[in-house]
């Protein structure tokens, strides 16, 4: 499958067309959807693993909804004034509150005085944190490997070839470490930039100069947001350069910075389109999951009713809980994972096509080097040549 360069189709005939028309984003969206629909079975396993190990790293993986509450202490405050008609405080509740606070302080002091217990808690907590960190880091490394594996498969599919395991394994071997290193470098840059910009506000916070803290904090926040967005775009293009071409990390970053400087308007527009598609897909996925849950509830309800009629009321509660978990939560979770993998795949394909558009066809030609034939391939090639000569 060959990827056509829509910028040549739109901007070549009409030189007066602006940068907005330089890339035909609608055709790229359709082509990405077509590639995903045609090759989803081939990419499904890798896409699911990417979704389970943290998702794709080309764009921000943020949820559309968030919730939080801070209503603690309201009931205690209102209850303390219920019986005070003339504004007098409820001294009994105040005394109980003070007594509880003193009990907590006593328990903390007793705990701190028990050195063996403190040492045990510190060791256990440190071990748990270290274990979590190791698991997270190994997951991050595996996710980097999956990114490289996905794009190598995609590269084969775009060339009209079947992604063979031996050939892909040979290309992925060892290179995923550099993908992880590239991701770590940009991650550390983002953390370092946030620390540098917020240091002045932290200094004045120690001096308790809250006016300057607020002013410098707002300024630092705006600068951090700008730098993080800038680094995210540079990282995105650099990663695609590294995955496409046989370049080093430094060369990929240099190329990414250069390309972003020339085509930043097209890249930002592509990001806005990606966000709009994210919202639409998120709403559609929510409705699909809701419908799927209703179907699972109906099926589990019918099965539960049949079991109830056959077994009786004694086991109704237990069977309802088991059926709810097995027949509702499990299929819904699998369905949500598949939808997430579908979106992750689309995003990576979409940005892969955008990158080829703005970077030019030459990049696509560079990144498709001739694959060294294995011994089995050589034998098959020789057998085919012999048959052709016999026919002639």
Share of the chain above pLDDT 90, in %: 41
Q: Is residue 289 part of a domain?
A: no
Residue 194 is encoded by which pair of tokens?
């946030």
Q: Is residue 107 part of a domain?
A: yes
Q: Is residue 119 part of a domain?
A: yes
Please state, in angstroms and rounded to a whole number, the distance separating the CA atoms of residues 214 and 134: 37
Domain extent at residue 101: 92-141
Please state, in angstroms and rounded to a whole number, the distance separating the CA atoms of residues 317 and 186: 52
pLDDT average, residue stretch 256-280: 92
Contact 156, 168 (CB under 8 A): yes
CB contact set of 247 (below 8 Å; sequence gap of 6+): 241, 255
Write out pLDDT tens, residues 349-365: 999 999 988 887 443 34
**What pLDDT does residue 306 have?**
76
195 or 1, which is more confident: 195
251 or 66, which is more confident: 251
Q: Is residue 16 part of a domain?
A: no
CB contact set of 351 (below 8 Å; sequence gap of 6+): 58, 59, 236, 240, 270, 274
| Domain total in the chain | 1
Write out pLDDT tens, residues 63-88: 333 333 434 443 444 444 444 444 44
**What pLDDT does residue 353 have?**
92
**What pLDDT does residue 373 have?**
42
Q: Is residue 124 part of a domain?
A: yes
* Longest alpha-carbon distance in the chain: 113
Q: Is residue 112 part of a domain?
A: yes
Residue identified by tokens 């308007």 is 265
**Looking at the predicted structure, is the pLDDT value of residue 212 above 60?**
yes
45 or 303, which is more confident: 45
Q: Is residue 136 part of a domain?
A: yes
Question: Mean of the per-residue pLDDT values for the chain?
Answer: 78
Write out pLDDT tens, residues 129-171: 999 999 999 999 999 999 999 998 898 888 888 877 888 888 7
Q: Is residue 245 part of a domain?
A: no
DSSP for 66-91 reads ------TTHHHHHHTTTT-TTS---H
Measure Cα distances from 289 to 2, 23, 33, 294, 331 in Å: 35, 34, 21, 9, 10
**What pLDDT does residue 382 have?**
55
Contact 340, 53 (CB under 8 A): no
Per-residue confidence band for 314, with pLDDT thresholds at 50, 70 and 90: low
């Amino acid at each position: 499958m060959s990827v056509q360069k829509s910028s040549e189709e739109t901007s070549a005939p009409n030189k007066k067309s602006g940068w907005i028309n330089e890339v035909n984003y609608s055709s790229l969206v359709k082509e990405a959807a077509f590639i995903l629909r045609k090759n989803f079975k081939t990419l499904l396993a890798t896409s699911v693993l990417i979704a389970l190990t943290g998702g794709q790293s080309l764009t921000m993986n943020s949820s559309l909804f968030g919730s939080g509450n801070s209503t603690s202490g309201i009931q205690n405050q209102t209850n303390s004034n219920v019986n005070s008609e003339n504004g007098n405080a409820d001294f009994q509740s105040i005394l109980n509150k003070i007594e509880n606070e003193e009990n907590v302080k006593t328990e903390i002091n007793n705990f701190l005085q028990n050195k063996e217990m403190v040492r045990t808690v510190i060791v256990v907590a440190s071990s748990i944190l270290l274990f979590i960190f190791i698991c997270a880091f190994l997951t991050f490394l595996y996710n980097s490997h999956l990114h490289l594996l996905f794009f190598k498969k995609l590269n084969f599919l775009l060339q009209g070839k079947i992604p063979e395991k031996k050939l892909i394994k040979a290309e992925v071997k060892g290179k995923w470490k550099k993908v992880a290193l590239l991701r770590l470098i940009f991650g550390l840059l983002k953390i370092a930039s946030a620390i540098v910009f917020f240091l002045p506000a932290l200094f004045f916070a120690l001096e308790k100069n809250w006016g300057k803290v607020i002013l410098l904090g707002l300024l630092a926040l705006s600068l951090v947001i700008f730098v993080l967005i800038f680094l995210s775009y540079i990282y995105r293009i650099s990663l695609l350069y590294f995955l496409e071409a046989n370049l080093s990390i430094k060369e990929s970053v240099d190329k990414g910075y250069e390309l972003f400087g020339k085509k930043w308007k097209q890249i930002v527009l592509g990001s806005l389109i990606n966000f709009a598609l994210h919202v639409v897909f998120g709403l559609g996925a929510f409705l699909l999951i809701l419908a799927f849950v209703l179907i699972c509830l109906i099926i589990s309800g019918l099965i539960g009713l049949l079991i109830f009629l056959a077994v009786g009321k004694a086991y109704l509660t237990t069977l309802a809980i088991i059926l709810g978990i097995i027949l509702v939560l499990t299929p819904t979770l699998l369905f949500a994972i598949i939808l997430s993998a579908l979106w992750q795949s689309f995003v990576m394909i979409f940005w892969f096509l955008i990158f080829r558009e703005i970077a030019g066809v030459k990049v696509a030609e560079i990144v498709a080097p001739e694959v060294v034939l294995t011994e089995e391939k050589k034998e098959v090639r020789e057998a085919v040549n012999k048959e052709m000569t016999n026919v002639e």
